[in-house]
Structure 1
């Protein structure tokens, strides 16, 4: 029994239900079960409220604008909803791309194979540049294919926009431009674009999106580029063995990310169609091969040559076309029973992913982990205590907070005085000197993680700093869940030590 025995409307309905359920679950489960806010959103909100510019110390401008702009909703938890919008953009783009050359059953399988990877099923809660880039990555792959095939102006214009905004979300998007260049230069469809205006319109829109950031980079010593190099350890001497272990780790991350999808394919569709019932053009195969494999190969080659550290989140966008690639080459023999079995197993995986996320965020990290890192932060308790301590000592507004990225942003955004945050980031330093006179006049709160002095405190050795104090803050857990666990197991959430000190204002109001 072939897949055609199920009506095409069935697959479309399944896709719609997947999108609706995914959006509702991942958007609103965090509202109900999570306490606190993930750091990416409130740090970006502080950054753009203080400086709306064409670039930032860590990232280009557009991704920072989007994640930081969540504050316009009035509740930063709306970041969960925004995150799922980009996931849906990715899902629908994969579907639309696959539908150009695959039947609906195969297209839906391609979508589900991507959704069951940990990239999508476990790491989709934080509205950050990595999630945004997945959406832009999928849009670029879709509209580049449409533009090359149809040569419509609207497709080229949108492609230029998505390429520009994707690069301005994260510079890693440039990895995708390499296979695009190869397709334009070495395929008949690509070379024919040089005789059409669409390609040039695409380039103009792309340049409009990125030129402001290029100017900003020149004016700011390419700080966001050097930040990325430092994160990959390229500014230090790399041990020889890292040129071997770094690519092996990258390959391990790739295989680990795809393992569950591969198991599902062979469990549900063990037989391959030796005589395909649908034709795929040679250009389409070249297109999918290059767009899927080239960024992966560049990443591995980068690790071999540099020995640099490959961050796991770099794999986020690389997963996007892998479902289409797998289905295109495996050409599974699909029956109604096999498809429904696959749908059930994929649904079980996604349900287990929800349970796993709830377990990790609500119990494992608050009760078993020692640091506030991957979990939401207890934003209001930290901000309120720090502001109260300042007001106890000095009866005047707190105008500056200096410290680690997350904690300075917490006091700035959630504290009642909303002080200017000065981040002491060794990888992307802020020119402290430009604030020096105001800090001496109005004073500042210094805040950092742990009970020992922070290394960056040396910058203030010439200032009169008060004795520092340390307070312990509980990991964020919903009150009802905290009571439940305490009554059930007797456990209480772990705490994180946070230290603080003051630079006294010149005109103290006692």
Structure 2
């Protein structure tokens, strides 16, 4: 866990919260539930595996990558028949299906928009662009993994008597951790599961992107490499001494404290260097707070719907305590969370970037749906330790609920 927590996403690169990070909570539970089911092969363990899979699927459909890898691991493993002839996998499948029924019903009601949206949005024709994206994906995730792996190697090298070895036989610092013969500290059967799963989720997405011309994002790999430390520790020839645990915890603690101490300086410096970077440092949470207060002061009710482009309104959905449903007029793909009838019934707040070329079409839509909507311009800016962030201006439209 400490090796994994030294992953940059968890400290100095952890600047955003999204479903890719949330998978780092649910996917380890899925893998743990699978390992437990593979070992116990009982219907109870299958029940927990199915529930863990359903929980993970509700974060992002990308979780199917890990679930598919687990399924392939179960079919590839030499002990597969003992597992497949037990109730565990079948109870897991049934439990997952039953737990997902409400979501599947919603998907059907929404005409499976999330799936068709993904198919249309992330399918590209330019083979050169696909290769470039795959190369960037591999390079980005390899660079992120390099730090925890290097720190783990450093922790193993610091096992006493490392100083005397450094003086007399430096190579022994590395070679002493490796030995032939059986390793009683490694469960070979479960280690094989870990290796199969990690290899599949590491190689599968980039190969799939190349084969099917998919636009692959670097963030999609965030949740797929948490098993690397465990896969390395499970190498039978590697002898991990108990002193390594202390070293890893100490390294993780030093890095975490150093990052926390330096975070005010890092934030101020980043804000100063990126004073015009509205994409990353724009004051969207502040806008969500202001709009929530504006709605409450006018109508003394919950803010139910926010309208605009997904880029503009997603932060409003997340940061507002009312968590209004998103409505995206004039876009090919809606959120599936609300309808035009709801917009007219409950009212809405429209939020739009005045520099966006789609503004005239949105204003036309507002004029048709809510001609009496209140229109205003709001400006937001965030200050971090005295450093001013970029100023952002928004066109805001407040349409009251139906009487």
TM over 0.5: yes
Comparing 262-271 with 169-178, greater Cα deviation is found at 262-271
- Of 256, 266, 278, the residue aligned with 2:183 is 278
Q: How does 1:168-183 map to 2 (within 5 A)?
A: 168-183=58-73
Comparing 317-326 with 196-205, greater Cα deviation is found at 196-205
CA–CA separation in structure 2 for the residues paired with 1:395 and 1:114: 48
CA–CA separation in structure 2 for the residues paired with 1:395 and 1:186: 60
- Of 411, 430, 452, the residue aligned with 2:355 is 452
When the two chains are superposed, the root-mean-square deviation of aligned CA atoms in Å is 4.0
Q: Which residue of 2 aligns with 1:497?
A: 393
Q: 5+ residue gaps in structure 1?
A: 1-110, 483-490
CA–CA separation in structure 2 for the residues paired with 1:211 and 1:117: 35
SS in 1 for 2:234: helix
SS in 1 for 2:214: coil
Tell me by how many angstroms 1:147 deviates. Answer: 1.4
Structure-2-length-normalised TM-score:
0.76
Q: Which residue of 1 aligns with 2:307?
A: 402
**Does structure 1 residue 313 correspond to structure 2 residue 219?**
yes
Q: Deviations over 1:364-388 (max 9, x none)?
A: 2477243455458464566447865
Q: Which residue of 2 aligns with 1:113?
A: 3
Tell me by how many angstroms 1:212 deviates. Answer: 2.3
**Does structure 1 residue 224 correspond to structure 2 residue 114?**
yes
Q: 8 Å contact 2:202–2:225 — kept in the other structure?
A: no
Q: 8 Å contact 2:141–2:222 — kept in the other structure?
A: no
- Of 44, 48, 64, the residue aligned with 1:154 is 44
Tell me by how many angstroms 1:208 deviates. Answer: 0.9
CA–CA separation in structure 1 for the residues paired with 2:402 and 2:108: 37
Q: How does 1:363-442 map to 2 (within 5 A)?
A: 363-365=269-271, 368-374=274-280, 377=283, 379=285, 383-384=289-290, 401-405=306-310, 408=313, 422-424=326-328, 426=331, 428-429=333-334, 433-435=340-342, 437-438=344-345
Q: How does 1:87-98 map to 2 (within 5 A)?
A: none
Q: Which residue of 1 aligns with 2:148?
A: 261
CA–CA separation in structure 2 for the residues paired with 1:186 and 1:506: 59
SS in 2 for 1:494: coil
Q: 8 Å contact 2:183–2:236 — kept in the other structure?
A: no
SS in 2 for 1:258: helix
For residues 276 and 349 of structure 1, do their structure 2 counterparts lie closer, same or farther at Cα, with a shift above 3 Å needed? farther
Tell me by how many angstroms 1:179 deviates. Answer: 2.8
Structure-1-length-normalised TM-score:
0.62
For residues 246 and 427 of structure 1, do their structure 2 counterparts lie closer, same or farther at Cα, with a shift above 3 Å needed? farther
Tell me by how many angstroms 1:189 deviates. Answer: 2.8
Q: Which residue of 1 aligns with 2:161?
A: none
For residues 281 and 367 of structure 1, do their structure 2 counterparts lie closer, same or farther at Cα, with a shift above 3 Å needed? closer
Q: Which residue of 2 aligns with 1:246?
A: 133
| Length, aligned pairs only | 376
Q: Deviations over 1:228-254 (max 9, x none)?
A: 3355x31xx421202321221121022
Q: 5+ residue gaps in structure 2?
A: 158-173
CA–CA separation in structure 2 for the residues paired with 1:472 and 1:501: 14
CA–CA separation in structure 2 for the residues paired with 1:427 and 1:476: 37
Comparing 116-125 with 147-156, greater Cα deviation is found at 116-125
CA–CA separation in structure 1 for the residues paired with 2:277 and 2:256: 28
SS in 1 for 2:395: strand
Q: How does 1:41-190 map to 2 (within 5 A)?
A: 111-122=1-12, 128-190=18-80
